[in-house]
Chain A
Amino acid sequence: MTSTATLHRPRRIKESRALPYLLIAPAVAIVAAVVIWPVVQTVWLSLYSGTIRNTGDFVGVENYQTLFADPDFLRALSNTGVFTVCSVAVELVLGVAVALIINRGFRGRGLVRAVTLVPWAFPTAISAIMFRLMFSDPNGLLSWVAYKLNLISQPILGSQDLMVVAAVIVDIWKTTPFVALLILAGLQTIPGDTLEAAAMDGAGAVQRFFRIVLPLLVPSILIAALFRTLDAYRVYELFWVMGNRQVDSLSTYVYEGVRVSQLQFPTGSAASVFVFITAFIIALFFVIALGARRNKA
C-alpha cells in the first residue's frame, strides 16, 4: 500500500458513503433478528391463546387479565420489586464507601482492587450454588451464624421471604464491586484542588463529603443505579438456582411459561411483555433524570 494512491482514489469516494452502513450492518442485523423482531412477536403472541407449537386463537387482552389475577405472578412481581429496591439501595451506599476506600493511596491497593473484582467475575449461577451450600440447614456457614445470633428460627431456604433476603445478600456481595468501580471512575474526575480549598476553609471530612464529593458523584451514582436496577429487575439465577424453584422472580415466572408448563404459555408471553414494558419505563426514568442533571450543569 505504498505508491498506488491514484489508482484507488475514484473508487474510495464511492466506497466511503456506503461503507459506514456496511460496517454496522452485521451488528444491526443480528440485533434486529434476536431482539427487535422477537419483541414484536412476543407482543403479538401475548394476544393469542397458543402454546409453543401453535399460535391458537386471538383472545385480545385476556392473557393479561389472567396474568394480573394470578397470585403466583403477583408474588413474583413483589419478590422482584423488593429484591431490586433493596439490593440496589444497599449496593449504592456500599459502592460509594468502597470507592472512597479504594481511592485512597495505600500499600497493596492493587491487590485489594483485584480481590474486590473476584465476586464480580463469578458466574451468578455458581454464586447461587455456593451460597446455597452456605445457607443450607442447619450447618451451612451462614445459616449456622444466623441461628447463633438468633436472627432466624427456621431454615432460610424453606421460607419464601427469607429466600428473597438471601438473594439480596448474594447480589450485594456479587455486584457491589461493579458499583464501586463505576463510582470510583466518577470520584477520580473530582479535582483535588476543590477539596483542598474546602479543607483550607475549614470544612471537615464529613462536610467535604456531603457538600462537595457527593453532589459531584450524582451522575456516576445515577449511571450505576441505571445499570444495576435493570440488571436486578431481570434477576433469574439467584431465584431459580438458589431458591431451588420454590420462589419466583419475574424472569423465572416467564421461563416456567416457556419451558416448564405448556398451560402457562400464553400468560408467560403476557408476562414477558409486561417485563419488557416496565423495564423500558425504568430505563426512561433514569435517562430523563440524567438528562435533567446534564441540562442543569
Chain B
Amino acid sequence: MSTSTQRTSRATAVAPAPAEPRRSQEKGLWAFRLLILWLFVVSIAPLLWVMRMSLASAGDIGRAPLELLFAPVTVEAWGRVLSDKTFLATLLNSVIIATTTTLVCMVIGSLAAYAFARFKFRGSNVALVLMLMVSFFPQVAVIIPLFKQFVAWGIINNYPAAIIPNIVFSLPTTIFVLTVFFREIPHSLEEAAKIDGATQLQTFTRVMLPLAVPGLLTAAILTFVNSWNDYLFANTFLFDAKTWTATVQIPQFATQYSIDYGAQAAGALAVTIPLVLVVMIFQRNIVSGLTSGAVKG
C-alpha cells in the first residue's frame, strides 16, 4: 500500500483525516458542521427558551410552545422581578457572600499552596491529600453538626454561616490550581530576591504573588462561581430573605408567584446572565483551572 499519498497536511493533534475521495470528505465536513451546530444549539437552547418565556405575558406563557414562540414580546415579568425589593436584596446577599468567600479563600489558599509548592516538610503529602479529598466529600454529611455549631457560635442565619462552608469546599480547587501555578514559577526569581535580602514572606508577597496573578484569577473565578451557585449551605443555614442568596430565593418564587412562570424565568436569568458573561470572558482561565488537575493529577 502506498503510504506517501495518505499523509495529509492537517495538523490537528487527533485523527488527522486520511485522504479520501473528495466527495465523501465533503460529506464528512457537512456532518461535522452539523455536529458543531447541534452542540451549539443544545448548550444554549434552554437559556434562549427561558428567555422567550420571560418575555411573554402571563396569558401567553401557558400556551403551546409554537404559539408561545410567536406571541408578542413584553417585559412585564422582568418589571415584576426587578422591582421586587426582596429579590434585589437576595442578589446583594449573593454578591456579598460570594465575594467574601473568594477573598478569604484566596488568602488561605495561596498561603497553603505556597507551602506545598516550595517547601519540603514532614506531613506535606498527607496534608495535601487531605485537602484534595475535601472536594469529594458529600456536604450533607456535615450539615447536622455544623448547624449545631453555628447555633452555638451565634452565626446561624448570618452571612458567615454560608461563607465558612463555602470557603472550605472551594479550598481544594484553589490550593490545587495555585500549587500547580507556583511550581511553574522558576526558582531563580526567588533566589534573586533572597540574595537581595528579602525574607521568605517578603519573597512570597512581593515576588510570587505578583507573578501568580493569572493563577489567582483562575482560582478566584472558580471559587466565585462555586460560591454563587451554592444552594445546600445557604438553604440550610440561612432562614429568610434577609440573609439568603438569590439561588435560594428564586425557587421560592415558585410558591410566592405560584403560577407566574414569567417571573421565575426572568429571575432565573437575572441570576445567571452575569455568570454566563464571566464565563465567556474568562473562558481560558476556567478551562486551564478545571483541567490542571486532570493533566498533572
Among the stretches A62-70, A159-167, A250-258, the one at the interface with B is A250-258
Complex interface residues of chain B between 207 and 242 (CB less than 8 A to chain A): 225, 228-229, 231-232, 236
| Residues of chain A with a CB closer than 8 A to B225's CB | 121
Complex interface residues of chain B between 240 and 297 (CB less than 8 A to chain A): 247-248, 250-251, 253-254, 261, 264-265, 268, 271-272, 275-276, 278-280, 283, 286-287, 290-291, 293-295, 297
Option from A2, A23, A103, A236 in Cβ contact (under 8 Å) with B232? A236
The interface residues of chain A, by DSSP majority, are classed as: helix
By the criterion CB–CB under 8 Å, are B140 and A272 in contact?
yes
Chain B CB within 10 Å, residue with most, of A117, A188, A202:
A117
By the criterion CB–CB under 8 Å, are A12 and B111 in contact?
no
By the criterion CB–CB under 8 Å, are A275 and B15 in contact?
no
A86 in the interface (beta carbon within 8 A): no
User: Chain B nearest CB: distance from A171 CB in Å?
Assistant: 13
By the criterion CB–CB under 8 Å, are B142 and A125 in contact?
no
A250 and B11 alpha carbons, distance in the complex (Å): 48
A296 in the interface (beta carbon within 8 A): no
| Residues of chain B with a CB closer than 8 A to A254's CB | 140-141, 143-144
By the criterion CB–CB under 8 Å, are B141 and A273 in contact?
yes
Chain A CB within 10 Å, residue with most, of B131, B201, B229, B253:
B229
User: Chain A nearest CB: distance from B6 CB in Å?
Assistant: 6
| Residues of chain A with a CB closer than 8 A to B135's CB | 227
| Residues of chain A with a CB closer than 8 A to B131's CB | 27-28, 31
What residue of chain A has the Cβ atom nearest to residue B109's Cβ? A27
A130 in the interface (beta carbon within 8 A): yes
By the criterion CB–CB under 8 Å, are A234 and B168 in contact?
no
| Residues of chain B with a CB closer than 8 A to A196's CB | 7, 16
User: Chain A nearest CB: distance from B263 CB in Å?
Assistant: 11
Q: Name 12 extra pairs, CB < 8 A, besides A39-B142, A127-B46.
A: A8-B199, A20-B115, A27-B131, A42-B144, A101-B39, A104-B12, A106-B36, A123-B229, A131-B46, A139-B63, A241-B231, A276-B138
A residues adjacent to B (C-beta < 8 A): 1-8, 11-12, 15-16, 19-21, 23-24, 26-28, 30-31, 34-35, 37-39, 41-42, 45, 52, 98, 100-101, 103-106, 108, 110, 112-134, 136, 139, 141, 144-145, 173, 177-178, 181-182, 184-192, 195-196, 199-202, 204-205, 208-209, 213, 220, 223-224, 226-227, 230, 233-234, 236-237, 241, 244, 250-251, 254-255, 257-259, 265, 268-269, 272-273, 275-276, 279, 283
Give me the 5 closest cross-chain CB pairs, A-B, nearest first.
A5-B197, A185-B291, A23-B115, A20-B119, A123-B229
B residues adjacent to A (C-beta < 8 A): 1, 3, 6-7, 10-18, 32, 35-36, 39-40, 42-44, 46-47, 49-50, 53, 62-65, 68, 107-109, 111-112, 114-116, 119, 121, 124, 127, 130-131, 133-149, 164-165, 167-168, 171, 175, 193, 195-202, 206, 225, 228-229, 231-232, 236, 247-248, 250-251, 253-254, 261, 264-265, 268, 271-272, 275-276, 278-280, 283, 286-287, 290-291, 293-295, 297
